[in-house]
């Protein structure tokens, strides 16, 4: 019990810091809207402000190790809790509709990136381990996929660090740019914009942030829902791709590689689906004729607000943790591969969506 209490005490400062950044970002957002631009909504979303503020402060002042414990907790667990709470927004019909369209797109993106990187490493000399890490990080779920894949292909710590830095850099750039590009290109089509954001951005946190930016700036919550469902489908492909990568890398050799599908499965996906079940059961039970209908409606709204707060906190923590100096020191060759892979997955996504449109019209 004492050990658990000490752990809780250790994470509190970093979590509070992330929450302060969240509140401060909302304050800046309100200031921009009311005092500077005199508009109902700021041209810069709260999530975007939190990320940029975190990057600036995290590089101007080195966070203390005690703070980093709580910031890491925020990135790992509060982020996932926020994504789980997003499930309260969806119905079963939405999940099936979005998922059935997203699954083929996810498969095309994964195959495209893997094939591309296998061709690229013949021109840009990086290690095969690095290529596998960049491929799975770009196509599936960023740093989580990289860390889960590294042990089964015996990747070195430096290769893991390079690959994660790669994913972080291009994922953050895409997260900041793609919501505005998606609005311009898809003309406020929530399904198409959500599919694009959910497949072309690397990390789960980055996709959630991009979807939230889109929602906050263009008043289109369905885009966040589609992007979230699409990204969580991508995450579940870890269960297939990590064993596949282990086989491809170790084929022809006798390797005593041990990995557990239970350890690599993203369990917060189950939590997300569980929240959809809660929403749909609640809607069936707490109808407008029910005395507790307003209580149920308020509960849903509170969870939506909590999801936004938790995701904003997580992105502030991500921003604080990005060390720009480390990114500059890692050389350029892996980043060339990562840049081409990031652009390619976006292009594949656009081609698929345009092709889907031609069949639906």
Q: Are 262 and 292 in contact (CB under 8 A)?
A: no
Higher pLDDT, 85 or 151: 85
**Which among 17-31, 119-133, 334-348 has the top mean pLDDT?**
17-31
Q: Structural domain boundaries of the chain?
A: 2-360
* Segment 81-130, tens digit of pLDDT: 988 998 888 888 888 888 888 888 888 888 888 888 778 777 777 777 88
90 exposure class (CB count in 10 Å sphere: 0-12, 13-18, 19+): buried
| Residue 322, pLDDT above cutoff 50 | yes
Higher pLDDT, 4 or 239: 239
| pLDDT value of residue 263 | 62
Phi then psi dihedrals of residue 254, to 5 deg: -90, 110
264 — pLDDT class (breaks 50, 70, 90): low
Only one residue has tokens 């309100």, namely 30
193 — pLDDT class (breaks 50, 70, 90): very high
The single-letter DSSP state of residue 121 is: T
Average pLDDT of 328-335? 70
Six-digit token string for 10: 């250790």
Angle between helices 157-186 and 333-360 (to 10 degrees): 30
Phi then psi dihedrals of residue 201, to 5 deg: -110, 145
Indicate the range of 8-12, 245-249, 277-281, 340-344 predicted with least confidence. 245-249
2 exposure class (CB count in 10 Å sphere: 0-12, 13-18, 19+): exposed
Six-digit token string for 196: 């694009």
Q: Are 196 and 102 in contact (CB under 8 A)?
A: no
| Whole-number Å distance between alpha carbons of 183 and 335 | 27
Only one residue has tokens 């810069």, namely 44
Q: What is the largest CA-CA distance in the chain?
A: 68
| pLDDT value of residue 179 | 94
Six-digit token string for 266: 């993203």
| Whole-number Å distance between alpha carbons of 147 and 138 | 13
**The dihedral formed by the CA atoms of 255, 256, 262 and 268, expressed in degrees to the nearest 10:** -50
194 exposure class (CB count in 10 Å sphere: 0-12, 13-18, 19+): buried
| Whole-number Å distance between alpha carbons of 323 and 89 | 34
Six-digit token string for 210: 């991009």
Higher pLDDT, 174 or 92: 174
Q: What is the pTM of this model?
A: 0.81
Q: Give me the chain's average pLDDT, please.
A: 82
Q: CA 129 → CA 33, 136, 170, 294, 349, distances in Å? A: 48, 11, 19, 55, 26
- Do you know the residue count of the chain? 361
| pLDDT value of residue 136 | 84
39 — pLDDT class (breaks 50, 70, 90): low
Q: CA 194 → CA 99, 183, 300, distances in Å? A: 12, 10, 22
């Amino acid at each position: 019990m004492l050990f658990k209490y000490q752990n809780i005490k250790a994470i509190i400062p970093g979590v509070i810091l992330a929450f302060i950044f969240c509140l401060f970002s909302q304050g800046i957002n309100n200031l921009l809207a009311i005092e500077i631009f005199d508009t109902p909504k700021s041209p810069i979303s709260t999530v975007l402000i939190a990320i940029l503020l975190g990057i600036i402060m995290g590089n101007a002042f080195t966070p203390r190790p005690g703070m980093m414990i709580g910031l890491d907790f925020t990135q790992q667990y509060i982020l996932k809790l926020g994504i789980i709470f997003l499930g309260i927004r969806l119905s079963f019909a939405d999940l099936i509709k979005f998922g059935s369209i997203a699954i083929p797109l996810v498969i095309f993106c994964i195959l495209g990136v893997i094939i591309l990187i296998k061709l690229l490493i013949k021109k840009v000399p990086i290690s095969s381990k690095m290529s596998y890490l960049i491929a799975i990080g770009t196509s599936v779920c960023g740093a989580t996929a990289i860390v889960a894949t590294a042990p089964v292909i015996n990747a070195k710590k430096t290769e893991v660090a390079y690959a994660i830095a790669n994913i972080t850099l291009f994922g953050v750039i895409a997260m900041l740019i793609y919501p505005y590009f998606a609005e311009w290109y898809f003309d406020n089509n929530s399904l198409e914009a959500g599919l694009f954001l959910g497949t072309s951005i690397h990390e789960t946190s980055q996709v959630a942030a991009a979807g939230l930016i889109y929602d906050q700036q263009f008043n289109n919550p369905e885009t966040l829902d589609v992007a979230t469902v699409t990204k969580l489908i991508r995450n579940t492909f870890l269960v297939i791709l990590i064993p596949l990568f282990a086989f491809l890398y170790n084929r022809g050799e006798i390797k005593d590689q041990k990995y557990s599908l239970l350890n690599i499965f993203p369990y917060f996906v189950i939590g997300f689906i569980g929240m959809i079940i809660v929403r749909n059961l609640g809607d069936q039970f707490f109808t407008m004729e029910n005395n507790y209908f307003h209580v149920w409606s308020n509960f849903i709204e509170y969870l939506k607000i909590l999801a936004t707060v938790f995701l904003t906190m997580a992105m502030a923590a991500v921003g604080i943790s990005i060390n720009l100096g480390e990114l500059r020191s890692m050389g350029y060759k892996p980043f060339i591969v990562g840049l081409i892979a990031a652009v390619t997955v976006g292009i594949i996504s656009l081609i698929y969506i345009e092709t889907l449109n031609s069949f639906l019209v």
